[in-house]
Amino acid sequence: MPELPEVETVRRGLLPVMEGKVIAAADVRRPDLRWPFPDGMAARLTGQRVERLRRRSKYILADLSSGESLLIHLGMSGRMLISGAPLGQFHHDHPAPEKHDHVVLDMEDGTRVTFNDARRFGAMDLMQTADAEAHWLLASLGPEPLGNTFNEDYLIDRLRDRNTPIKTALLDQRIIAGLGNIYVCEVLHRAGLSPKRKAGRIAAPRVAGLVPIIRDVLAEAIEAGGSSLRDYRQADGELGYFQHTFRVYDREGQPCQTPACHGVVGRIVQSGRSSFYCPACQR
DNA sequence: ATGTGTTCCTGTCCGC
DNA sequence: TGCGGACAGGAACACA
């Protein structure tokens, strides 16, 4: 999926077309994605103004005038596509939805927002805005890595005594919410830490050092509009460009970027996922 | 309570 | 070209 920077980029792209705007019509074209859509989703979206469009971890939340919030998760391949009001000015003049266009939102001004998700690991749900934090998908999420509650003391505490590799620990959304496979690989490379190191066996100062690295990598990626791999694009169709600055992710066999390091990027599989790293400078 | 492997689904790419 | 297998940004779930 889109990881935190990609989701934030999608949110920012949707902001001008959704926030403060009314959903004139909702077309729910299949009963489910990863899970069934909530009962009456189309009717519960129709006529609602989007009061606020916010993000929690890799989830987008649209707070509606009804007091409900729409939760959007993009899974691995989800995209939110924006198309402008057609010349005919009526939403039925938009081109017909394509394969994998599962939910179509027509805004009152004629702009169309389409949730497209080939692999269907994505999700949508509705809940009371007041109860959003308690939603089962959000309840056990750890702190936002760019927020204040994520800090050195917190991370040292959470990694203490963990027997799992640091790679796996940083992917655990209960410890820190928003990192995915790309950014964990990049963070560990910048930190000079092997993905195989047991989380609980890393000295506290090194764990502390991860905190600003995580913040920097995510902030840089957001600044770059996320990473465009395969099918991911920003909501407006633009490509992000952070992928050009990957130091290890998807660079197996290529030279390590660390100054004076003559290592070669390798790939191992950890809990079923590829870890890219330099065996020479990540220890 | 932790840690690991499997699973959902479609599309793409690579080697034969 | 066709076909099979590996792999893909996530994360819930079942099981040791």
Catalytic-residue membership of A58: yes
Which helix (H) or strand (E) segment is A10 a member of?
helix A4-18
pLDDT at A229: 74
> A110-133, pLDDT tens digit by residue?
999 999 999 999 999 999 999 999
Chain C: positions less than 7 Å from a protein CB are 7-12
Nucleotides of B under 7 A from a protein CB: 2-12
d(CA A213, CA A222): 14
pLDDT, mean of residues A170-194: 97
Give the SS3 label for residue A124.
strand
* Range 171-230, chain A: CB under 7 Å to any strand C atom: 171, 173, 180-182, 226-230
Q: What is the pLDDT of residue A279?
A: 97
Q: Give the pLDDT band (50/70/90) at residue A44.
A: very high
Give residue A183's pLDDT: 97
What's residue A1's pLDDT?
A: 56
The reply to whether the CB atom of residue A111 sits less than 7 A from any atom in nucleic acid chain C is no
pLDDT higher than 70, residue A261: yes
3-state SS assignment for residue A273: strand
A279 is catalytic: no
* pLDDT range class, residue A89, cuts 50, 70, 90: low
Active site residue A220: no
Q: Please report the pLDDT score of residue A235 as a whole number.
A: 59
pLDDT reading at A87 higher than 80: no
Residue A123's contacts (CB-CB under 8 Å, 6 or more residues apart) are A33, A34, A35, A71, A72, A73, A75, A137
Q: Which of A11, A58, A158, A233 is catalytic?
A: A58
